[in-house]
Amino acid sequence: MLEKKPGNFRVDKLRAILLYEADFNQNNIFLGRAMMRNAELHKLLAPEQYGSRKKMLAIDQCLSKRLAFDLLRQSRRPAAMCSNDAKSCYDQIVHSIASLCMQRNGVSEAPVVCMLTTIQNLSHYIRTIFGDSKLIFGGDMWTVPVQGVGQGNGAGPQIWAIISTPVLNMMREEGFGAFFKASISGDELSFVGYAFVDDTDLCETLRTGHATGPAVALKMRSSLDHWEGGIRATGGAIVPEKSHWYLIDFCWHYGSWSYASEEQSPGSLTVLDSLGQRQTLERLSPDDARRTLGVRLAPDGNNHAEVTYLRSCALEWKERIRTGHLPRHLAWQALTTTILPKLHYPLAATTMTEKECNFIMSPVLQGGLPCSGIVRTIPHTLVYGTTKYQGLGIPSLYTEQGIAHISKLLQQDHQPSMTGDLLRASLQALQVELGISGFPLNINLHEWDFWQLNVG
């Protein structure tokens, strides 16, 4: 039993990890990998599902969400987005559904039966610091066999990926999702939302160019009900208290636009909980950021929440390294292998200024350099300089953010993925917004500062 949140020891808030027999779980790992290889080969997975797939990272899905926010702002189109949390999805998967989905993706019946019947007949003990429990549950104690694949199953993430695919496909066939058309090429782009294993954000727009916020909210209600029904069919449920939604709409005043408030664009959203009761979801304003796969994104594009979080991480690390009394070489190792990777992770999906990046890095340098035997007042030119020219080789956060953006541009160039399609559509919208004939990234953006408020 592990803590989901540090310091919260409530039994119903702990995460139960199953310690399967090593040979059984090794077979599960092999089965999951073989299943995903076959699914990728025959393109059986929903394009919205990035979890458990090669060359698809969590930060790429964060970037997709950020690009969708940008594209909505560039086109001034109303949209609704709902981030919903599935309740213990691994532990509540119905075995008959899992079996059908696994066989649909090329797994023969025998290994599926072997895995699922073994899980159904397991006898579960609880392992604590004081030893294993004497009482057990599972096995032949229940009339209906225990369902779910369990946290810790080597094939668990892959099984959820193939189970969520039919639900996402059902949503697409029913006409739900976000619809965009590239400004120059005319390429059409549509997707149901953003999924990374069990973390899913639904996105809704209307096909018509004269959509309104309340009309989009009405479509989102139907979309969420369909999604909840699909999740319930697999054995899961939505957790309303961990879910929220945005209604993105725009108001115009003498040719200038702004995001519509809740009073200007009313709407509410409800969903069935695990007990079948209707619960109202929290509606957030476009400038309110919430954590998505480790990154705090807001529809209006501001980075305030992410900057505040990264600064708090830097301050906490500074205090720990100051009081840790590590040898100098281990303090340097902690600087380069713990806090810096944490700060670098969200950079592909952020647009922080150089001042904000320096604000984040300041505690790291103030705490890490003295503990590593380096004077804290050393010029930043030497701190960020390469070791080839006698620098310390600490990467600049602002420079790393630019490198991350360029890297994603190169990786997604002509790549058939949702992230690449959104990136190309956003660049074309930027080109139309600026009114230029060439590629927008080739121009000097400092000469176009007067567009800053409109382009965002």
Question: pLDDT digit string (tens) for 83-110?
Answer: 988 776 778 899 999 999 999 999 999 9
Average of per-residue pLDDT across 358-371: 95
At 247 the pLDDT is 95
Alpha carbon 374 to chain centroid, angstroms = 38
At 451 the pLDDT is 56
Answer for the pair 440, 430: CB distance below 8 angstroms, yes or no: yes
At 453 the pLDDT is 43
Amino acid identity for residue 70 in this structure: D
Indicate the pairing of strand 244-248 with strand 282-284.
Answer: parallel
Distance CA 360, CA 312 (A): 8
Average of per-residue pLDDT across 354-361: 96
Contacting residues for 378 by C-beta, under 8 A, at least 6 apart: 369, 392
Among 132-146, 232-246, 405-419, name the one with the lowest average pLDDT: 132-146
Distance CA 331, CA 319 (A): 12
pTM of the full predicted structure?
A: 0.90
Q: State yes or no: pLDDT of 4 exceeds 90.
A: no
Contacting residues for 18 by C-beta, under 8 A, at least 6 apart: 124, 150, 151, 152, 153
Average of per-residue pLDDT across 26-47: 94
Among 3-17, 44-58, 229-243, 390-404, name the one with the lowest average pLDDT: 3-17
Answer for the pair 267, 217: CB distance below 8 angstroms, yes or no: yes
Q: State yes or no: pLDDT of 116 exceeds 90.
A: yes
How many Cβ atoms sit within 10 Å of the Cβ of residue 121?
12
Q: What is the pLDDT of residues 296-324, one digit of tens each?
A: 999 999 999 999 999 999 999 999 999 98
At 255 the pLDDT is 84
The strand pairing partners of 244, in sequence order, are 83, 282
At 414 the pLDDT is 67
At 127 the pLDDT is 85
At 50 the pLDDT is 92
Answer for the pair 311, 361: CB distance below 8 angstroms, yes or no: no
CA dist 407 to 230, 278, 297, 348, Å? 36, 44, 20, 9
Side-chain half-sphere CA neighbours of 403 within 13 A: 8
Q: State yes or no: pLDDT of 162 exceeds 70.
A: yes
Position 209 confidence tier, pLDDT thresholds 50, 70, 90: low
At 193 the pLDDT is 93
Distance CA 408, CA 64 (A): 11
| Secondary element (H or E) of residue 454 | helix 452-455
At 225 the pLDDT is 94
Answer for the pair 317, 364: CB distance below 8 angstroms, yes or no: yes
Average of per-residue pLDDT across 266-272: 92
How many Cβ atoms sit within 10 Å of the Cβ of residue 76?
12
Q: State yes or no: pLDDT of 415 exceeds 80.
A: no
At 454 the pLDDT is 46
Q: State yes or no: pLDDT of 355 exceeds 70.
A: yes
Position 450 confidence tier, pLDDT thresholds 50, 70, 90: low
Output the average pLDDT for the chain. 90
Give the rounded percent of residues in the chain with a pLDDT score beyond 90.
66
At 126 the pLDDT is 86
